[in-house]
């Protein structure tokens, strides 16, 4: 009974809990990556406690992988040594942590997962209460298997209408951020629902849950249906939906007339219709990230780049989010298409999203990215500009060398 987050946390603690209550709850898995991991290890070691469960503890090498510096290699070494000492075998260097967590079976509908990365909200698409935390919280969970949560109030986003061709989940999320602002859901659970979300595939729902944190949400949940279980290759465990829920707010969105959206610098809530920004010159296009780095995103891009050439004045970087997505892209000929089109394809990981390696922006440079953050300095120089959009817009823009409308492509 209640909102999705109330339902999940009530089941977990074995008594009915409601928004405003604070609970200490067991988690199903705990994750850190190559940048947040070492600080989590420091916190864990300070506790002088044994590890809670090595098989539910995950480290992902993705933010700087392969390492690009002595400092990054040093962080990786510290994680490997820690894992060896405590018998942790879940050391993954096969792509972006949030996609790997899903692929590797750590996420279950109705579960509770915490990660030392803000986009841990991504798992909410699978009906899992999942939230990002800092390294200290994660180190404590590695030792105890638990964390504390204030049960959040819920903002329900009820979505109706059919998305037009070239318009995707990313555009829905950006249009919501335009309406609510960058802290519009601060401390709240966001519940994505309605017929449009039910009709979406899981790849698109994962984009919605991913971007939920970028307007402040503690978690971004989608209802569980047959598609959820199928995506996870699990027998159907039944639906999970809110019932008799009391919401802090309900936002109704009709996407029938939505056009592609672009978040313009200097902040994510500066969202404009694509038509207002078309023609803006670009120095870089990045396609990938935990928002839009799945095989479905790669397929959209390959379909548009097939047999064509990206603009010679724009560096185009494409990164399948995981090794699995990379192999699928190889098998389907997408990688061949990307390379022949003149794009640079890089190893599965976070890539340019956080400005630490590959395509770091210089002052005055302008990028369009399928990632989710455009704060000044995010991808390199604080004097660079970052525009955020869906993969189809990114592909059309890579071809044109300027922000371009995919609906004008054949």
Partner 1 sequence: MARVFRFGDGISTDAIMPGRYNLTTDPAALAKACFIENRPDFHETVRAGDVIVAGNNFGCGSSREHAPLSIKASGVSAVVARSFARIFYRNAVNLGLPVIRCADLHDAVQDGDEVVVDIEHGTIVAGGRTFQGEAPSAVARRISEAGSLVDLIKNHGWAAIEEVV
> Which residues would be at the binding site for partner 1 (CB under 8 A)?
21-24, 35-36, 38-39, 42-43, 46-49, 63-64, 69, 71-72, 74-75, 116-118, 132-137, 139-140, 143-144, 146, 148, 150, 182-183, 186-187, 214, 216, 218, 267, 354-356, 360, 373, 375-378, 380-382
Residue 209 — left, alpha, or beta (φ > 0 → left; ψ -120 to 50 → alpha)? alpha
Q: 110: which 2 tokens?
A: 């109705």
Residue 366's DSSP bridge partners are 385
Rounded least distance, CB 118 to partner 1, Å: 4
Closer to partner 1 by CB, 212 or 292: give it.
Answer: 212
Closer to partner 1 by CB, 110 or 216: give it.
Answer: 216
Rounded least distance, CB 74 to partner 1, Å: 8
Closer to partner 1 by CB, 25 or 202: give it.
Answer: 25
* Cα first-last separation, the chain: 48
Element (H, E) at 23: strand 22-26
Closer to partner 1 by CB, 355 or 391: give it.
Answer: 355
- Separation between Cα atoms, residue 132 and residue 48, nearest integer Å: 24
Rounded least distance, CB 219 to partner 1, Å: 11
Which of 101, 84, 90 is closest to 57 using CA atoms?
Answer: 90
- Separation between Cα atoms, residue 360 and residue 381, nearest integer Å: 8
Closer to partner 1 by CB, 186 or 275: give it.
Answer: 186
Element (H, E) at 57: strand 57-60
Q: 175: which 2 tokens?
A: 């249009």
Closer to partner 1 by CB, 280 or 360: give it.
Answer: 360
Closer to partner 1 by CB, 118 or 179: give it.
Answer: 118
Closer to partner 1 by CB, 33 or 404: give it.
Answer: 33
Rounded least distance, CB 398 to partner 1, Å: 24
Instruction: Classify residue 149 as exposed, middle or buried by CB count within 10 Å of its CB (0-12, 13-18, 19+).
Output: buried
In Å, how far are 165, 211, 241 from 254, measured between CA atoms? Answer: 15, 19, 21
Residue 154's DSSP bridge partners are 189
Q: Are strands 22-26 and 91-92 parallel, antiparallel or unpaired?
A: unpaired
Rounded least distance, CB 395 to partner 1, Å: 26
- Using the structure block, give the residue that is written with the tokens 């949560």: 149
Rounded least distance, CB 350 to partner 1, Å: 9
Rounded least distance, CB 208 to partner 1, Å: 18
Residue 73 — left, alpha, or beta (φ > 0 → left; ψ -120 to 50 → alpha)? alpha
Rounded least distance, CB 300 to partner 1, Å: 27
Instruction: Classify residue 144 as exposed, middle or buried by CB count within 10 Å of its CB (0-12, 13-18, 19+).
Output: middle
Closer to partner 1 by CB, 315 or 373: give it.
Answer: 373
Show Cβ contacts of residue 33 under 8 Å, excluding neighbours closer than 6 positions.
59, 60, 61, 62, 63, 97, 116, 117
Rounded least distance, CB 112 to partner 1, Å: 15
Q: 326: which 2 tokens?
A: 């990379």
- Separation between Cα atoms, residue 302 and residue 298, nearest integer Å: 6
Q: Are strands 29-33 and 22-26 parallel, antiparallel or unpaired?
A: unpaired
Closer to partner 1 by CB, 29 or 116: give it.
Answer: 116
Rounded least distance, CB 253 to partner 1, Å: 23
């Amino acid at each position: 009974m209640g909102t999705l987050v109330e339902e999940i946390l009530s089941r977990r603690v074995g008594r009915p809990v409601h928004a405003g209550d604070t609970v200490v709850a067991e988690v199903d898995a705990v994750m850190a990556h190559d940048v947040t991991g070492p600080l989590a290890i420091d916190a864990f070691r300070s506790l002088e406690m044994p590890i809670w469960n090595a098989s539910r503890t995950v480290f992902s090498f993705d933010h700087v992988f392969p390492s690009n510096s002595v400092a990054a290699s040093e962080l990786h070494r510290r994680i490997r040594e820690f894992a060896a000492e405590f018998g942790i075998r879940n050391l993954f260097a096969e792509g972006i942590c949030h996609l790997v967590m899903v692929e590797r079976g750590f996420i279950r509908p109705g579960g509770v997962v915490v990660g030392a990365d803000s986009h841990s909200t991504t798992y909410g698409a699978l009906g899992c209460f999942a939230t990002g935390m800092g390294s200290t919280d994660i180190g404590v969970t590695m030792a105890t298997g638990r964390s504390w949560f204030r049960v959040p109030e819920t903002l329900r986003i009820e979505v109706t209408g059919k998305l037009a061709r070239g318009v995707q989940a990313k555009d829905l999320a950006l249009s919501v951020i335009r309406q609510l602002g960058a802290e519009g859901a601060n401390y709240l659970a966001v519940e994505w629902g309605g017929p449009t979300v039910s009709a979406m595939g899981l790849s698109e729902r994962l984009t919605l849950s991913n971007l939920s944190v970028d307007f402040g949400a503690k978690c971004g949940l989608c209802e569980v249906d047959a598609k959820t279980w199928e995506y996870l290759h699990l027998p159907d465990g039944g639906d999970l939906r809110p019932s008799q829920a009391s919401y802090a707010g309900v936002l109704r969105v009709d996407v029938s007339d939505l056009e592609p959206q672009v978040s313009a610098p200097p902040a994510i809530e500066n969202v404009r219709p694509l038509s207002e920004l078309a023609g803006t010159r670009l120095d870089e296009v990045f396609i990938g990230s935990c928002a839009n780095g799945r095989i479905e995103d790669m397929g959209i891009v390959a379909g548009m780049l097939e047999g064509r050439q990206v603009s010679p004045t724009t560096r185009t970087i494409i990164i399948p989010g995981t090794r699995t997505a990379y192999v699928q892209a190889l098998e389907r000929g997408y990688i061949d298409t990307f390379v022949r089109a003149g794009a640079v394809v890089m190893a599965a990981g976070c890539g340019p999203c956080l400005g630490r390696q590959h395509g770091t922006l210089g002052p005055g440079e302008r990028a369009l990215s399928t990632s989710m953050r455009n704060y000044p300095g995010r991808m390199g120089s604080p004097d660079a500009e970052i525009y955020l959009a869906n993969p189809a817009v990114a592909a059309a823009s890579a071809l044109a060398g300027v922000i371009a409308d995919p609906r004008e492509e054949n």
